[in-house]
Structure 1
């Protein structure tokens, strides 16, 4: 009986000494997943000068998986379609998107090579992609939150 009680106490001690999984440090963030636009910023080259939030009913979603990107935008009361599909590369501080095809409305404003190079600020559940001018100054950003 003493051995059984000793074994039970030893098990309780071992269980109490294990780490709580809630204390595990967060993993390195990844851009893979599904994201929804929550706001946009305008910059003066370095600092935020204006914050814009989507109008009611507006949705812009981006999905990143296995080196592929797909995005879509729904704007209430508008008949213009906005979407695109292609590939992406992300590093700790940069995001490059190369679209293979896109909606006609997007093609009208797209650059000729359909490649977008942006500064990337990535956390586990949020990310910001910042458009830069030719001199590396910040122009505008899109700010997303993870939804999957």
Structure 2
């Protein structure tokens, strides 16, 4: 009886592992002949927080907080809307993908973004790109993930 109880508990624990949005890439794996592209419009759906290289928390985007990114072959533009925020946030610039890194260089944006650009205009993220979703992961100085923004393709 103890053995059966132990096996049931172990099965339960294994099945409850944090799947982080059911692994954002599930059912969206690229085929070997398909070239992935960032071109299009993308909507933020969630954030991941990391600790010890593991996702420890998933925060879903709410209806009163919207963030959209649009990519062409070499340009990026993003905007953020938050019902309770009177500050506008948007930015425009160039981007490139280098191996598994997304590099955005923001040229200009909203008044609040222009203040941020004075401090930093180049943003480098680890990129996990799939056909209809992607994650941009902020990495610390030691190479460990801090948080991720997760997007789905809307066009």
Flag whether TM exceeds 0.5 (same fold). Answer: yes
**Aligned residue number for residue 115 of structure 1:** 122
SS of aligned partner of 1:106: helix
TM-score computed with the length of structure 1 as normaliser: 0.77
Deviation at 1:111, TM superposition (A): 6.8
Q: Secondary structure at the match of 1:105?
A: helix
Q: Does 1:140 align with 2:147?
A: yes
Could you tell me how far apart the structure 2 residues matched to 1:45 and 1:64 are?
Answer: 32
Is it true that 1:77 corresponds to 2:114 in the alignment?
no
Q: Show the counterpart of 1:8.
A: none
Give the whole-Å Cα distance in 2 for the aligned partners of 1:25 and 1:138. Answer: 27
In the alignment, structure 1 residue 35 sits paired with structure 2 residue 42: yes
Choose the corresponding residue for 2:66, options 52, 56, 59.
Answer: 59
CA distance in 1, matches of 2:121, 2:68: 19
Q: Structure 1 regions of 5+ residues with no counterpart?
A: 1-23
Picking from 109, 127, 130, the partner of 2:134 is 127
**Paired positions, count:** 125
Change (3 A) 1:26 1:42: same
Which of 1 and 2 has greater Rg? 1
Secondary structure of the residue aligned to 1:30 is coil
- Structure 2 unaligned regions, length at least 5: 1-30
Counterpart in the other structure of 1:91? 98
Distance 1:100 1:110, change over 3 A: closer
- Give yes or no for contact 1:45–1:139 (8 Å, CA) kept in 2: no
- The structure 1 residue matched to 2:53, chosen from 12, 22, 46, is 46
| 1:13 corresponding residue in structure 2 | none
